[in-house]
Structure 1
Amino acid sequence: MDMSPPSDQPMPADGPKVIPAATLVIFRTATAGGPPELLMVQRAKEMRFAGGAAVFPGGRVDQADRELARAILPDEAEEIAAARIAAIRETLEETGLMVATRSAVTAAQAAEARQMLLEDGRLAPVLDHFGWELEPERLSFFAHWCPPWEGAFDTRFFVIDLGTGAVDIQVDATENTRLFWASAAGALAMADKAEISVIFPTRRNLERLARFASHLEALDDIASHPVRRIHPRIEIRDGAEWLTIPADLGYPVDGQPRATAQRG
């Protein structure tokens, strides 16, 4: 039985000391038709978490994210509200994309905003400078993953749709080495050919996302699978250790042999 706290709550004080984080799965319409494409970043090999792996944009939740969340989303649970802000901020920092603003953002504005963010570290001054109003509710809460050990990232995943996807992106070149767009199925194929590496949560999320022909299909699936904090665990299957997740959260694959699972 899952005894973890609800996904709108922090890890209890008597639980492992984890690091709140947020990740954003960005959809765009494929220019040549077919399934939507997703924006992925390849982490620098030197990074402590997921070094060398392809992941979705994201990072840890900062105190400034919490302060901005309390101002913008006072009625939402702070853990989710702050994670929304962190996902938006980290996406701008890592990719140069400014998402979830009420007004349109030009490529030149996004580039200037990113530079401001890199210098100051806080999103609020960037919003004030450009007069942008955030619509963080456009990020749909998709999943929540947290390995049950000290120092793990307690990560809330969100999804958002860019529509056309005719946008400028540029790798930050500090934490990441490249950016690329790929369908979920395409990213899995790249991983299977060892063109990219993916950690266990990313693979499971790609498998789930590969089932959707559109962002709207993803939203329908999210609505039918209430988010719970996922604690991957080890179990024995056919005499071998497997890393597994609960089977009732919308994921088509609920585990893989531990020996083949990259855990970040």
Structure 2
Amino acid sequence: MTDDARTTDKPLIPAATILMLRDGPSGLEVFMVVRHHQIDFASGALVFPGGKLAIGDTAPEVRGLCDGANDLDDTLLALRVAAVREAFEESGVLLARDESGGLIDGERLSALEGDRPKLDKGELAIGDFLTREKLRIACDLLQPYSHWITPKMMPKRFDTHFYLAVAPADHVAMHDGSEGVDSVWINPSDALEEAKAGKRTIIFPTRMNLEMLAQSKTVADAMEAALTRPIVTVEPQVEDRDGEMMLTIPAEAGYSLTAISMKDMN
């Protein structure tokens, strides 16, 4: 088997990432966490909350515990469920409605804090959690934003869907202390400037999505832009251009660049 065949055969791991937004003193802000240095993917990097699908995300009974599920196939629904679950696990924000039909408030949310590590460790399935608490996931509040697939040469490949969501005003976002060791609400442009100055580590897909998000000044602007922009799947390719190895992405995806030298990736 050739090296190329071996890389092509690597399975894609379905994953979901959420860009939690608010309007802050500096304008549009997004919640980001610093990943633990011992995690095998993007260790130490500033990232959006997210992760791979859990077994419980695809359970048949979960569909009946979601708002906005009717127009989603099983895969797309599971990705939104994963995005909401991961946001709760990694940031403490839970986009779920109670029996009143409204989003749960901060007081109710604080009482559920002990379930974050249980969900993270797989000790509690999302369906069982929702049923016990009589909650429904607000899938309708997630706006699809982008879709990235890890390049073939990487040892682990993710098929990741990014979503935007507005953070409820009374939900206090905070890293979990396990996968995330620090967290911050930050203006996208400020995050990029800190990375440029060497104060932050930001991996390529995160950087590109921050640059796109920085084009919006408010949450409303960002949501409207995402609603009207077609999503083009990005699977970066490595090309040899006159002896320089370049990572390329499709121009139709709408990002600020289409190629970057592999030397400039870090």
Q: Which runs of 4+ in 1 moved over 6 A?
A: none
Greater shift after overlay, 79-88 or 229-238? 229-238
Residue 203 (structure 1) aligned with residue 207 (structure 2): yes
CA deviation map 1:18-77 (0-9, x unaligned): 1111000011011x2x43100000001110010000000011111211125533325412
Residue 77 (structure 1) aligned with residue 69 (structure 2): no
Residue 157 (structure 1) aligned with residue 162 (structure 2): yes
Paired position in structure 2 for 1:7: none
Structure 2: which amino acid aligns with 1:157?
Answer: F
> CA RMSD of the aligned region, Å?
2.1
8 Å CA contact 1:25, 1:158 repeated in 2: yes
1:134-145 matches, cutoff 5 A: 134-145=137-148
Distance 1:184 1:255 in 2: 21
Instruction: Give the aligned length.
Output: 246
Paired position in structure 2 for 1:132: 135
Secondary structure of 2:112's aligned partner: helix
Deviation at 1:239, TM superposition (A): 4.3
Paired position in structure 2 for 1:45: 37
Q: CA 1:238/1:207 → structure 2, altered by over 3 Å: closer, same or farther? A: farther
1:20-39 matches, cutoff 5 A: 20-30=14-24, 32=25, 34-39=26-31
Distance 1:89 1:154 in 2: 17
Residue 57 (structure 1) aligned with residue 53 (structure 2): no
Deviation at 1:100, TM superposition (A): 4.5
Secondary structure of 1:29's aligned partner: strand
Paired position in structure 1 for 2:231: 227
CA deviation map 1:153-186 (0-9, x unaligned): 11100001126x4532222111111010001101
8 Å CA contact 2:91, 2:173 repeated in 1: yes
Secondary structure of 2:183's aligned partner: strand
Paired position in structure 2 for 1:146: 149
Q: CA 1:254/1:86 → structure 2, altered by over 3 Å: closer, same or farther? A: same
Q: CA 1:216/1:239 → structure 2, altered by over 3 Å: closer, same or farther? A: farther
Secondary structure of 1:229's aligned partner: coil
Distance 1:132 1:29 in 2: 27
Instruction: Return 5+ residue gaps in structure 2 as ranges.
Output: 1-7
8 Å CA contact 2:142, 2:163 repeated in 1: yes
Distance 2:16 2:142 in 1: 11
CA deviation map 1:96-141 (0-9, x unaligned): 1112434232334323323224223322232223322222021011
Compute the TM-score of the two structures, normalised by the length of structure 2.
0.84
Q: CA 1:174/1:240 → structure 2, altered by over 3 Å: closer, same or farther? A: same
